[in-house]
């Protein structure tokens, strides 16, 4: 089982950070309005960033780190992630 930290971009261009073991199911839950109070009124959401971790503890630690970043730092993560996906 893998653990993933993710950022989704909401319809209003805000970013939401979370962690999961099943990315597809979590995105589906966000888009059905079942995953978080924050994203429910901001649907649809789309995956903007994804990072794999070896343990739940590592994922939770990284989630906290990402949540503490400024918006511009989070957007830089997203930009770099998209660039790596194109290679």
Among 31, 17, 24, 20, which residue's Cα sits nearest to residue 68?
A: 17
Number of helices and strands in the chain (H, E)? 3, 3
- Does this model's pTM top 0.75? My answer is yes
- CATH number, domain containing residue 73: 3.40.1440.10
Tens digit of pLDDT per residue, the chain (87 long)?
A: 799 999 999 999 999 999 999 999 999 999 999 999 999 999 999 999 999 999 999 999 999 999 999 999 999 999 999 999 886
Q: The domain containing residue 45 runs over which residues? A: 3-86
Tally of domains within the chain? 1
Q: What is the C-alpha separation between 86 and 24, in angstroms, rounded?
A: 20
What residues contact residue 20 under an 8 Å CB cut-off, 6+ apart?
A: 3, 4, 6, 26
């Amino acid at each position: 089982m893998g653990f993933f930290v993710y950022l989704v971009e909401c319809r209003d261009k805000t970013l939401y950070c979370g962690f999961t073991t099943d990315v597809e199911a979590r995105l589906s839950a966000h888009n059905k309005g079942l995953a978080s109070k924050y994203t429910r009124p901001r649907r649809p959401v789309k995956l903007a960033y994804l990072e794999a971790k070896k343990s739940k503890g590592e994922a939770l630690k990284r989630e906290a780190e990402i949540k503490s970043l400024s918006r511009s730092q989070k957007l830089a993560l997203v930009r770099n992630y998209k660039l790596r996906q194109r290679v």
